[in-house]
Amino acid sequence: MEQLEGGEQQSAPVWAIFSDLMAALVGILALMLVWVIGIQLELSQSLDQEIEKREAEEQRRMALEQALEDPLTKGLVTFHDGRIGISGNVLFELNSDQLQAEGEEVLESLVPPLQTYLEQHDELLMVSGFTDDLPMHPGSRYGDNLGLSAQRALTVTRTLTSLGLPNDRVFAAAFGPHHPAVPNVDSESRAQNRRVEISTVPRAPSTTDEQEGGAGN
């Protein structure tokens, strides 16, 4: 720094300090811009993945609906949100797990389209049993509705596999009175809730696939 007469020193020019401050500010703004761009890219990638997932689910739903065109046209089953619905009154008598002749005919009509679907998609079929909210009749072999719904789902599962669906692609699930299709307010609504649903489920990676995938690590 230059020394003035009388021993005083000249301070650094103000413009130099201002220049340093501006350079630091520009650096901070550049870092913030990079961070914002990175966040936008992550959001864009997540959105693209979600769109692809939804499109794939819609394609699977449409493929299954197309495969079920004949039984749907005949009114044997319903199809909503990717779930095939079969009335419990068609499949079973009240409080029974024994498949009725009409119910077996309905299941027979479902086997060909379901076979076609499974051949084209690496997925599983979940057979879910549901009941209404009324307690079991005295003397019933089942302690509660959950047990009845489980056995009904097993009966349908075993029938489907005996008719030709692969054993390793179909499994049973029981929900009892939970997740009703409509509120249980009268006999008609309870009849709707006594049902069996068949839905597609993605197949989990097998242990062999996971080991092969990690062999190069």
Domains assigned to the chain? 68-204 (3.30.1330.60)
Mark the ranges of the chain whose per-residue pLDDT is less than 70. Answer: 1-18, 20, 49, 53, 56-57, 206-217
State the pLDDT at residue 21: 75
Whole-model pTM? 0.69
Structure tokens at 72: 């749907």
